């Protein structure tokens, strides 16, 4: 298991997150695709951080309620500022994403979101994560993950260098990102395989830029 962030690391990440603006677009893609399929009543955001992904869904679905979840008090403070206008619609849940089943996540959720968190997991931990998240998703509901992937071969290093040069000189091979990467991230194939193991075959990579991707997965309706 990867070591949890410290509060200092969480604070540094918030100050050095240079990709946030770029990732606004795939977040909106996710909300637009879900909207075509129907209305959303309840959405949860796992490892939500400052709540950016959750905010987009609460905007797109004004009658919905949301669950914010993260293990960091620093992130919760930041999210309560970002999501202040939505406070009556949000349940705040402190917990460890490694133990989804025991954190008290509501059942029958229409959508579960996760953003830039599962790249810390091993393939086995990823299997467990998706299996436990799926228990809280209603039939026909969505599991949506915006995250980094290990691409393998020469592509991984090439994409990382290109992304670094495009975004900002502040990125120095992850050293200023505010948290550690202790192993290569799971591949996109690892994500698809983990979802397939729990019977979710309706999966699509809806967006990719460099080594960051948006996976849209829909639980079978029956």
> What secondary structure, in 3-state letters, does 129-198 show?
HHHHHHCCEEEEEEEEEEEECCCCHHHHHHHHHHHHHHHCCCCCCCCCCCCCCCCCCCCHHHHHHHHHHC
Q: How many domains would you assign to the chain?
A: 1
Q: What is the pLDDT of residue 170?
A: 47
What CATH number is associated with residue 28? 3.40.50.150
Quick one: pLDDT band at residue 176, thresholds 50, 70, 90? very low
Is 202 a member of any domain? yes
Is 54 a member of any domain? yes
Radius of gyration of the chain (CA): 16
Confidence check: pLDDT of 174 > 90: no
Is 142 a member of any domain? yes
Is 132 a member of any domain? yes
Quick one: pLDDT band at residue 152, thresholds 50, 70, 90? confident
Confidence check: pLDDT of 66 > 70: yes
**How high does pLDDT run on average in the chain?**
87
Quick one: pLDDT band at residue 98, thresholds 50, 70, 90? confident
The burial of 80, by beta-carbon neighbours within 10 Å (0-12 exposed, 13-18 middle, 19 or more buried), is given as middle
- Separation in Å, CA 86 to CA 49, 82, 159: 16, 9, 37
Is 2 a member of any domain? no
Q: What is the pLDDT of residue 214?
A: 97
Q: What is the pLDDT of residue 184?
A: 81
User: Can you tell me whether residue 25 is helix, strand or coil?
Assistant: helix
Distance CA 44, CA 109 (A): 7
CA dihedral over 173, 175, 179, 181, signed as positive or negative = positive
Confidence check: pLDDT of 46 > 90: yes
Q: What is the mean pLDDT of residues 113-121?
A: 93
Residue 147: name the closest of 40, 49, 44, 35 by CA.
Answer: 49
The domain in which residue 114 lies consists of 7-218
Distance CA 67, CA 113 (A): 10
Is 29 a member of any domain? yes
Q: What is the mean pLDDT of residues 119-142?
A: 95
Confidence check: pLDDT of 62 > 50: yes
Q: What is the pLDDT of residue 1?
A: 46
Return the minimum-mean-pLDDT range out of 57-71, 98-112, 130-144: 98-112
Return the minimum-mean-pLDDT range out of 58-67, 165-174, 210-219: 165-174
Is 44 a member of any domain? yes
Is 1 a member of any domain? no
**CB 43 within 8 Å of CB 69:** no
Q: What is the mean pLDDT of residues 26-53?
A: 96
**Which tens digits make up the pLDDT trace of 182-220?**
668 899 999 999 999 999 999 999 999 998 999 999 999
């Amino acid at each position: 298991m990867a070591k949890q962030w410290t509060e200092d690391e969480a604070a540094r990440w918030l100050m050095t997150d240079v990709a946030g603006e770029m990732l606004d677009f795939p977040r909106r893609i996710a909300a637009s695709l879900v909207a075509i399929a129907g209305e959303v009543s309840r959405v949860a955001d796992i490892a939500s951080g400052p709540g950016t992904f959750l905010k987009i869904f609460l905007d797109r679905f004004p009658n919905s309620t949301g669950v914010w979840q993260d293990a960091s008090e620093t992130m919760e403070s930041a999210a309560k500022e970002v999501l202040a206008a939505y406070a009556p619609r949000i349940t705040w849940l402190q917990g460890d994403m490694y133990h989804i089943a025991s954190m008290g996540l509501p059942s029958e959720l229409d959508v579960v979101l996760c953003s830039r968190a599962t790249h810390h997991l091993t393939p086995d931990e990823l299997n467990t994560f998706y299996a436990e998240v799926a228990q809280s998703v209603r039939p026909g509901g969505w599991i949506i993950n915006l995250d980094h992937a290990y691409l393998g071969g020469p592509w991984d290093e090439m994409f990382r260098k290109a992304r670094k040069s495009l975004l900002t000189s502040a990125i120095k091979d992850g050293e200023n990102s505010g948290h550690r990467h202790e192993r290569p991230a799971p591949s996109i194939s690892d994500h698809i395989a983990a979802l397939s193991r729990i019977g979710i075959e309706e999966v699509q990579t809806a967006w990719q830029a460099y080594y960051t991707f948006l996976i849209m997965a829909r639980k079978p309706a029956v």
